[in-house]
């Protein structure tokens, strides 16, 4: 009996890592409750466990995508799903301009295109809360938002020219193992346009106006608020077909047991 129990224990210990196997190129993020800066109906938001791409999608990744799915090539994309800037930094349907690097984050990509890219990989775009939750970590702390050095670093990136042209992975990974959530480009989220919408739809116009005021209830003198404030502001100004030189994306997927 004891021998049988011992064998079961050994089998469990051997198989345990496989039960929560991490997808290739992704890192596991343990969910929890957190307090977002702005734009939510409740004070505390629950984030479930999920996996996130360790790196943003690169130019090379996206070239492979449009080769496989021709409808997303710049000459064929439906204008309803992408504006005139879509892939404007590409020489043609399958080639980057000489100034573009294969391992730089892909930009000039619309939300529609980013969404389908992720879905074709069996993934999805992250929600605002998933992205913010992962991005509030630094190299050692899951919530580094109270650190002046962390927020100052984000603000200095906002002032850096042409950061979108840099290659992925040159910044330290955060405590989850994710690279470049800050420092290269903004990133699309699944519900990017929800940050200015409350449960009362858009009746709370005063709340909207405060996002663009110097202080009000946001206490924008706090570095943490300024750093996140910029992300919320840019997301709230976007439309799904927009594409910009400093806007890219990465994918996530729900954490599930491997059967």
The answer as to whether 142 is a domain residue is yes
The answer as to whether 96 is a domain residue is yes
The answer as to whether 8 is a domain residue is no
**What confidence tens digit (pLDDT) does each residue in 6-25 have?**
454 444 344 444 344 568 89
Q: Which residues of the chain have pLDDT under 70?
A: 1-22, 38-42, 195-224, 257-259
Task: State residue 232's pLDDT score.
Answer: 81
The answer as to whether 60 is a domain residue is yes
Count of Cβ atoms closer than 10 Å to residue 11 Cβ: 10
Question: Which of helix, strand or coil describes residue 182?
Answer: coil
Rounded Cα gap, residues 63 and 87, in angstroms = 10
Query: How far is C-alpha 130 from the chain's CA centre?
Result: 8
The answer as to whether 116 is a domain residue is yes
- What backbone torsions phi and psi does residue 77 show, to the nearest 5 degrees? -65, 140
Contacts of 143 (CB under 8 A, 6+ apart): 34, 136, 137
Task: State residue 210's pLDDT score.
Answer: 38
Helices and strands (DSSP H and E) totals, the chain: 7, 7
Place of tokens 């750093």: 227
- What backbone torsions phi and psi does residue 45 show, to the nearest 5 degrees? -115, 135
Q: How many domains does the chain have?
A: 1
Which of 118, 112, 65 lies closest to 90 in space, CA to CA? Answer: 65
The answer as to whether 208 is a domain residue is yes
Rounded Cα gap, residues 168 and 58, in angstroms = 8
Phi-psi sector, 201: left (phi>0), alpha (psi -120 to 50), beta: left
The CATH number of residue 250's host domain is 3.90.1580.10
Task: State residue 212's pLDDT score.
Answer: 34
Task: State residue 3's pLDDT score.
Answer: 59
Contacts of 133 (CB under 8 A, 6+ apart): 29, 31, 32, 34, 47
Domain containing 98 equals 23-254
């Amino acid at each position: 009996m004891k021998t049988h129990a011992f064998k079961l224990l050994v089998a469990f210990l051997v198989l345990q890592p496989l039960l929560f196997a991490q997808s290739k190129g992704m890192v596991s993020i343990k969910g929890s409750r957190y307090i977002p800066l702005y734009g939510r109906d409740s004070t505390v938001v629950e984030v479930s466990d999920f996996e996130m791409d360790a790196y943003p999608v690169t130019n090379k990744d996206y070239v492979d995508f449009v080769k496989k799915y021709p409808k997303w090539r710049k000459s064929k994309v439906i204008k309803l799903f992408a504006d005139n800037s879509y892939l404007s930094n590409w020489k043609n349907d399958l080639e980057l301009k000489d100034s573009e690097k294969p391992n730089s984050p892909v930009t000039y990509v619309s939300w529609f295109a980013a969404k389908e890219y992720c879905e074709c990989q069996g993934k999805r775009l992250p929600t605002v809360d998933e992205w913010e939750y992962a991005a509030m970590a630094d190299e050692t702390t899951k919530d580094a938002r109270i650190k002046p050095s962390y927020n100052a670093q984000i603000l200095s990136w906002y002032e850096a020219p042409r950061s979108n042209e840099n290659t992925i992975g040159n910044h330290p990974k955060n405590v989850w193992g994710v690279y470049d959530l800050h420092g290269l480009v903004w990133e699309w989220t699944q519900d990017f346009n929800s940050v200015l919408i409350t449960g009362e739809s858009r009746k709370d116009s005063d709340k909207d106006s405060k996002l663009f005021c110097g202080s009000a209830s946001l206490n924008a003198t706090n570095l943490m608020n300024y750093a996140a404030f910029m992300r919320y502001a840019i997301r709230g100004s976007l439309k799904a077909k927009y594409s910009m030189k400093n806007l890219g994306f990465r994918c996530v997927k729900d954490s599930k047991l491997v059967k």
